[in-house]
């Protein structure tokens, strides 16, 4: 690289950093005050883009930007007041689930409103050309963006440091309960913060239209980038978000400039993993204040009563008799449901009783699937052997990554699990000769004696039921109780001589191993695997299933898996806008049963008894 191209790449990085900062700042603000992991932030950004691109044709680009930002802010205020406000009492993860449901609804609304085609906006009037810098052409609009990012930073800084509202926001970010105890009106504060965050997301989206088209795929990719920036910078820290955006954007620009463009697939996750391993609360973050009061401690899981056990045995027996009455597709669907049930139970094991909220559990599902595929296709092992040994790869992966993850806590831990999952995903995605790259591995079929639908169904049924029963049994073993003690009160557990990290590490590995069993079964039921087996979307599906079923119940994940898989299968077949319908169903369930379906039923039964 010559000096002039180094300069230009540096400027490119700055322009991207400004865009990234706008969306990350809003996310960070919202998280800092409300503690909501707002999945819908990318959707707000996408709405900003579409509204701006739609208005730009009529009133010109420069007017469309503030209008789009205001429109999105209004939408954000509505979402907060009508939806989120109702579930602030629910567990934090459930609020994340509600915002995820919102993603699905907004996406389908956007498709319905603006159509499927990408819309490339106009260039910004007045800044539609390029200037010559060190012998290279550089867009004027990018110079504007470079200046705009720091301006927003300064404005936010003034707002937070110099106004009464800002003082309240900082107080709530530092210690929400204390602020509330001192009489700060939380409702009003939350609504205003969410509105400002939404406004920043909409502004970020609108300002992006001279640089990139409005597309339906932008929402999730933006929100993941924004999460990475927020976590690297430290949750709730606006300057942190700015520095992190700068860091990520510059590293990306120079990866490209130096000819390592394939690294851009994963570099932000590598940076995040490194930062979190060195600084567990991000660059500018502080150790979060632990929530106080009675609300936080979960009721311990009671061992299932005799009636429940009888019912579970009866369900299993009914499942064993299923092939007598149904063949064909019912068995195919049931195989998927059983596999996802095991996947969800393994995730629940580490999330619920373990208290470690993993956002990368699909990695271990995928490692199991790839372990099976690689053993069968690359090593030529028989299917039975591949199936038996594949989960070990997942267990090993969980053992290695778990060692790092259990050193963190809260959202940071969640994001580190995501980072590791993305790193594994990108290795699998790019290692063509070994893993088959983006196409994956085809030609994985069960051994002839297991090839019929009925035989494979029984294999899956026996494996999944045995694995789930074992995991549940472990929860009521001394190890399971110790794990819960470590979750509910790490300090006390530590004081009575338990090694909290060791316990959590072991729990993480066990959960990974069992997810691997599900993955291996999945690979042979589909005949092929691709990197999507371990993509973020599968981790999200897992979370949705666990939360739908009820995180503080034993059997919830199983019913969640059945409901979610069945819902997806039926809706996708019968309804065009099935994503929106699934989103709406999840929203309704969240509003009606904030403790999950199974939690709700359990509570009702309890009430009747007393």
Partner 1 sequence: MFKLTRRKALLTLASLAAAVAASPAVQAQTIKIGELNSYKLFPAFLEPYKKGWELALDEINRAGGINGRKIEVVSREDGGNPGDAVRAAEELLSRENVSLLMGTFASHIGLAVSNLANQRKVVFIAAEPLTDKIVWENGNRYTFRIRPSTYMQVAMLIPEAAKLKKQRWAIVYPNYEYGQSATASFKKLLTNAQPGVQFIGEQAPALNKIDAGAVVQALADAKPDAIFSSLFGADLQKFVREGNLRGLFKDRPVFNLLAGEPEYLDPLKEETPDGWYVTGYPWNEIKTPAHQKFLAAYQAKWKDYPRLGSVVGYSTLYTVANVLKRAGGPDTEKVIAAMKGMEMDTPIGPIVWRPIDNQSTMGAYVGRLAKKDGKGVMVNWRYADGAHFLPTFEEVKAMRKE
Query: Which DSSP helix (H) or strand (E) runs through 528?
Result: strand 528-529
The distance of closest approach from Cβ of residue 98 to partner 1 in the complex, given in angstroms and rounded to an integer, is 21
Identify the residue among 174, 180, 192, 215 touching partner 1 (CB under 8 A): 215
Identify the residue among 95, 530, 552, 555 touching partner 1 (CB under 8 A): 530
Query: Tokens 């503030």 map to which residue?
Result: 66
DSSP letter for each residue of 39-100: TTHHHHHHHHHHHHHHHHHHH-HHHHHHHHHHHHHHHHHHHHHHTGGGGTTS-HHHHHHHHH
Tell me the three state secondary structure of residue 390: helix
Query: Which DSSP helix (H) or strand (E) runs through 138?
Result: strand 136-139
Dist. CA 575–CA 577, nearest whole Å:
6
Give the per-residue contact string, 136-165, with partner 1 (x = CB under 8 A; - = no): xxxx--x-----------------------
The distance of closest approach from Cβ of residue 128 to partner 1 in the complex, given in angstroms and rounded to an integer, is 8
What are the two backbone dihedrals, phi and then psi, of residue 444, each rounded to the nearest 5 degrees? -105, 100
Q: How far from 444 is each of 346, 377, 382, 525, CA to CA, in Å?
A: 24, 7, 10, 8
Q: Which stretch binds partner 1 (CB under 8 A): 179-187, 269-277, 525-533, 598-606?
A: 525-533
Identify the residue among 528, 566, 584, 585 touching partner 1 (CB under 8 A): 528
Tell me the three state secondary structure of residue 554: coil
Give the per-residue contact string, 329-358, with partner 1 (x = CB under 8 A; - = no): x--xx--x----------------------
Evaluate whether 563 touches 74 at the Cβ level (below 8 Å).
no
Q: Which of 515, 556, 554 is nearest to 538 (CA)?
A: 515
Q: Which stretch binds partner 1 (CB under 8 A): 153-161, 208-216, 270-278, 554-562?
A: 208-216
For residue 62, the tally of other CB atoms under 10 A from its CB is 12
Binders of partner 1 among 78-107, rule CB under 8 A?
none
Identify the residue among 54, 66, 280, 327 touching partner 1 (CB under 8 A): 327
Specify the residue, 329 or 434, whose C-beta has the smaller distance to partner 1.
Answer: 329
Specify the residue, 170 or 211, whose C-beta has the smaller distance to partner 1.
Answer: 211
Identify the residue among 195, 346, 533, 598 touching partner 1 (CB under 8 A): 533
Evaluate whether 488 touches 352 at the Cβ level (below 8 Å).
no
Binders of partner 1 among 378-417, rule CB under 8 A?
none
Dist. CA 451–CA 431, nearest whole Å:
30
Question: CB within 8 A of 177, min separation 6: which ones?
Answer: 291, 292, 293
The distance of closest approach from Cβ of residue 37 to partner 1 in the complex, given in angstroms and rounded to an integer, is 22
Specify the residue, 352 or 366, whose C-beta has the smaller distance to partner 1.
Answer: 366
Identify the residue among 67, 78, 81, 119 touching partner 1 (CB under 8 A): 119
Binders of partner 1 among 11-30, rule CB under 8 A?
12-13, 15-16
Q: Judged by CB under 8 A, how many residues of this single chain contact partner 1?
A: 77
Interaction of residue 113 with partner 1, rule CB under 8 A = no
Binders of partner 1 among 120-139, rule CB under 8 A?
120, 122-123, 129-130, 136-139
Dist. CA 145–CA 514, nearest whole Å:
48
Identify the residue among 39, 246, 359, 522 touching partner 1 (CB under 8 A): 522
Binders of partner 1 among 424-443, rule CB under 8 A?
429-430, 432, 437-440, 442-443
Binders of partner 1 among 547-606, rule CB under 8 A?
568-569, 572-573, 578-579
What are the two backbone dihedrals, phi and then psi, of residue 136, each rounded to the nearest 5 degrees? -115, 150
Q: Which stretch binds partner 1 (CB under 8 A): 81-89, 207-215, 279-287, 346-354?
A: 207-215
What are the two backbone dihedrals, phi and then psi, of residue 389, each rounded to the nearest 5 degrees? -95, -20
Identify the residue among 175, 298, 488, 532 touching partner 1 (CB under 8 A): 532
The distance of closest approach from Cβ of residue 241 to partner 1 in the complex, given in angstroms and rounded to an integer, is 19
Tell me the three state secondary structure of residue 23: helix
Helix residue ranges, H only, 352-477: 362-373, 383-405, 410-430, 432-435, 453-475
The distance of closest approach from Cβ of residue 319 to partner 1 in the complex, given in angstroms and rounded to an integer, is 16
Identify the residue among 70, 78, 81, 111 touching partner 1 (CB under 8 A): 111
The distance of closest approach from Cβ of residue 215 to partner 1 in the complex, given in angstroms and rounded to an integer, is 5
Specify the residue, 121 or 391, whose C-beta has the smaller distance to partner 1.
Answer: 121
Binders of partner 1 among 20-79, rule CB under 8 A?
none
The distance of closest approach from Cβ of residue 577 to partner 1 in the complex, given in angstroms and rounded to an integer, is 9
Tell me the three state secondary structure of residue 214: strand
Tell me the three state secondary structure of residue 133: strand
Q: How far from 282 is each of 28, 169, 412, 504, CA to CA, in Å?
A: 12, 20, 8, 22
Binders of partner 1 among 447-486, rule CB under 8 A?
453
Identify the residue among 3, 89, 183, 259 touching partner 1 (CB under 8 A): 259
């Amino acid at each position: 690289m010559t000096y002039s191209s180094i300069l230009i790449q540096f400027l490119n990085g700055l322009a991207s950093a400004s865009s990234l900062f706008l969306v990350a700042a809003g996310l960070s603000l919202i998280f800092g005050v409300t503690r909501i992991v707002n999945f819908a932030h990318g959707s707000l950004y996408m709405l900003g883009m579409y509204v701006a691109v739609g208005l730009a044709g009529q009133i010109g680009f420069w007017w469309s930007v503030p209008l789009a930002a205001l429109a999105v802010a209004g939408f954000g205020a509505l979402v907060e007041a009508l939806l989120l406000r109702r579930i602030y009492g629910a567990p934090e993860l459930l609020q994340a689930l509600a915002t995820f449901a919102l993603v699905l609804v907004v996406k389908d609304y956007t498709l319905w409103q603006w159509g499927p085609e990408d819309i490339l906006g106009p260039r910004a009037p007045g800044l539609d050309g390029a200037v010559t810098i060190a012998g290279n052409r550089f867009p004027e609009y990018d110079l504007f963006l470079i200046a705009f990012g720091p301006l927003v930073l300064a404005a936010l800084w003034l707002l937070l440091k110099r106004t009464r509202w800002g003082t309240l926001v900082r107080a709530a970010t530092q210690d929400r309960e204390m602020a509330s105890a001192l009489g700060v009106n939380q409702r009003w504060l939350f609504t205003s913060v969410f509105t400002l965050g939404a406004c920043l997301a909409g502004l970020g989206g609108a300002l992006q239209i001279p640089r990139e088209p409005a597309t339906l795929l932008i929402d999730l990719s933006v929100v993941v980038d924004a999460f990475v920036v927020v976590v690297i910078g430290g949750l709730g820290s606006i300057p942190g978000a700015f520095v992190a955006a700068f860091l990520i954007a510059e590293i990306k620009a120079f990866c490209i400039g130096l000819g390592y463009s394939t690294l851009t697939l994963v570099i932000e996750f590598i940076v995040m993993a490194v930062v979190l391993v060195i600084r567990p609360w991000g660059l500018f973050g502080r150790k979060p204040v632990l929530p106080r009061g009675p609300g936080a401690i979960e009721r311990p899981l009671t061992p299932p009563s005799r009636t429940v056990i009888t019912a579970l045995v009866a369900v299993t027996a009914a499942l064993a008799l299923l092939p007598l009455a149904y063949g064909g597709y019912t068995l195919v669907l049931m195989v998927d449901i059983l596999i996802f049930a095991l996947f969800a139970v393994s995730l629940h094991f580490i999330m619920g009783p373990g208290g470690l909220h993993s956002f990368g559990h699909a990695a271990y599902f995928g490692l199991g699937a790839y372990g099976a595929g690689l053993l069968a296709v690359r090593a030529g092992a028989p299917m039975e052997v591949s199936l038996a040994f594949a989960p070990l790869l997942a267990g090993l992966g969980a053992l290695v990554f778990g060692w790092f993850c259990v050193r963190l806590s809260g959202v940071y831990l969640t994001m580190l699990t995501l980072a590791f999952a993305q790193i594994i995903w990108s290795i699998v995605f790019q290692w063509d000769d070994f893993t088959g790259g983006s196409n994956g591995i085809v030609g994985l079929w069960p051994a002839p004696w297991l090839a019929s639908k009925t035989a494979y169904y029984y294999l899956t049924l026996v494996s999944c039921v045995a694995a789930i029963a074992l995991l549940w049994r472990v929860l009521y073993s001394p190890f399971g109780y110790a794990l819960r003690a470590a979750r509910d009160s790490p300090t006390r557990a530590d004081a009575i001589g338990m090694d909290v990290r060791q316990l959590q590490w072991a729990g993480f590995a066990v959960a990974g191993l069992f997810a691997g069993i599900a993955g291996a079964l999945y690979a042979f039921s589909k005949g092929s695997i691709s990197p999507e087996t371990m993509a973020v979307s599968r981790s999200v599906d897992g979370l949705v299933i666990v939360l739908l079923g009820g995180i503080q119940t034993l059997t919830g994940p199983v019913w969640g898996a059945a409901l979610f898989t069945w819902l997806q299968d039926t809706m996708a077949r019968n309804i065009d806008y099935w994503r929106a319908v699934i989103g709406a169903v999840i929203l309704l369930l969240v509003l009606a049963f904030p403790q999950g379906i199974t939690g709700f039923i359990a509570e009702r039964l309890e009430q009747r008894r007393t």
